[in-house]
Structure 1
Amino acid sequence: MNTILEGFRGFARYFGGVMGADAYAKYLEHHEASGHDAPMSEREFWRDHTDRQDSNPQGRCC
C-alpha cells in the first residue's frame, strides 16, 4: 500500500511540474539564490505570469 502511495505522489509531483504548478516555488528559489529584494507575493506572481502569457502568446493548449 505504501508503494502505491509513493507512486501516486511521484506522479502528482511530475504532473504538477508539467502543468507549471510549481512555478512559484521555483521563482522563490531563484529569487533567494540571486539575492534580489523582497519577492512578489504568490498572487502578484500569478498575475504577472498570466499577463506575460497574454501579451506574448506562445504554443499552449488553452
Structure 2
Amino acid sequence: MIKKEMTILDIVEKYPKTEEIFKSYDKLVGKCVLCNNLFDSLDSFTADNNIDLQDLIDKIDNSI
C-alpha cells in the first residue's frame, strides 16, 4: 500500500510500472517529475503542484 510519506523514488524503485503514472504529470507541472521531484514525498509533491493526493495514490495503487 502506498503512503503519502513515501518518496517518488521509493515507489518507482519498488514498482517500476508507476513510472508512466508520474510521467503523465509532466505536462501538468511543466517539468519532468522523475527528473526534478524524485526525492519528494507524495505529500509534498502534490501540495507543491496543486494535485489531488488521494487521486494520485489511487492511481498508483490500481497500477500495482
- Greater Rg by CA: 1
TM-score between the two structures when normalised by the length of structure 2: 0.26
Is the helix fraction higher in 1 or 2? 1
Structure with the bigger RCO (C-alpha within 8 Å, sep 6+) is: 2
